[in-house]
Amino acid sequence: MDVKLENTRLKNYFFFKRAFDLLFSALVIVGVLSWVLPLLALLIRMDTPGPVFFLQKRVGKGGRHFTCVKLRTMVLNAQADRVPASWNDKRVTRMGRWLRKTHLDELPQFFNVLLGSMSLVGPRPYMLADSQEFSRLVPNHPVRNFVKPGITGMAQVKGLHGPLIDRATLFSRYHWDVFYIRNASFLLDIRIIRQSIQLLFTQQIPAA
């Protein structure tokens, strides 16, 4: 493979990827979040006391930390940044279960995309404690951080959502994340976005 041609391809790809991220996220924020978020905020506050948004440090491109924005789905608890939600987790609120089931809790991450800490497509960002643990279990796990994390990704459209069940699931997620990085292209991004939208309407998959 011609290194110069490949570098040019990647440069063009990342340029168009960022332009698409900006355009798509701006359209979603103006056309959807501007009226959906106030409604969801009201429902969250009516369900349980506490803030509407949940801010959590996660690992982004190059291993740098950034603040990931989600809608709050748990009662306030001291373990939120150390212990991820599990199946039938008692910390998850009634409203939170619905938000996770529909993936609506991820909507504020379009602000992360607009600001540049995330992309529409890429490996899902792990919280700091999980990233450290997974790096210990999986050789070369930080390879996932060669690109920006995404709202959706290759692992997600392959059905690898929700709490980790075992080490095999972790390795499968890692496999598809690396597959995406090695084969990244604008057409692949569009295909993953299309498949993610289809999954929202055809499957009920717990959010990561």
Rounded Cα distance between 198 and 200, Å, is 5
CB 120 within 8 A of CB 25: yes
Q: Is the residue at 84 inside a domain? A: yes
User: What pLDDT was estimated at residue 1?
Assistant: 57
User: Is the pLDDT reported for residue 122 higher than 90?
Assistant: yes
At residue 155 the predicted structure's pLDDT band, cuts being 50, 70 and 90, is very high
Q: Is the residue at 208 inside a domain? A: no
If one counts the domains in the chain, the total is 1
CB 47 within 8 A of CB 93: yes
Rounded Cα distance between 121 and 124, Å, is 9
Distance, CA of 80 to chain centre? 17
Rounded Cα distance between 137 and 140, Å, is 9
User: Is the pLDDT reported for residue 9 higher than 80?
Assistant: yes
What is the reported pTM? Answer: 0.91
User: Which domain, by its residues, includes 137?
Assistant: 3-202
Buried/exposed 54-85: b ≥16 CB within 10 Å, e otherwise: beeebbbbeeeebebbbbbbbeeeeebeeebb
Strand partners of residue 70: 54
User: What pLDDT was estimated at residue 79?
Assistant: 87
Rounded Cα distance between 6 and 77, Å, is 47
Q: Is the residue at 207 inside a domain? A: no
CB 135 within 8 A of CB 141: yes
Helix locations, the chain, DSSP H: 3-28, 34-47, 94-102, 109-115, 128-137, 154-157, 167-182, 186-202
User: What pLDDT was estimated at residue 82?
Assistant: 82
Give the helix/strand (H/E) hosting 205: none
Rounded Cα distance between 181 and 122, Å, is 8
Rounded Cα distance between 180 and 194, Å, is 15
Q: Is the residue at 89 inside a domain? A: yes
Closest to 61 in 3D by CA, of 4, 115, 5, 139: 115
Strand partners of residue 127: 58
Query: Does residue 195 or residue 199 have the better pLDDT?
Result: 195
Instruction: Please state whether beta strands 53-59 and 65-71 pair in parallel, antiparallel, or not at all (unpaired).
Output: antiparallel
Q: Is the residue at 111 inside a domain? A: yes
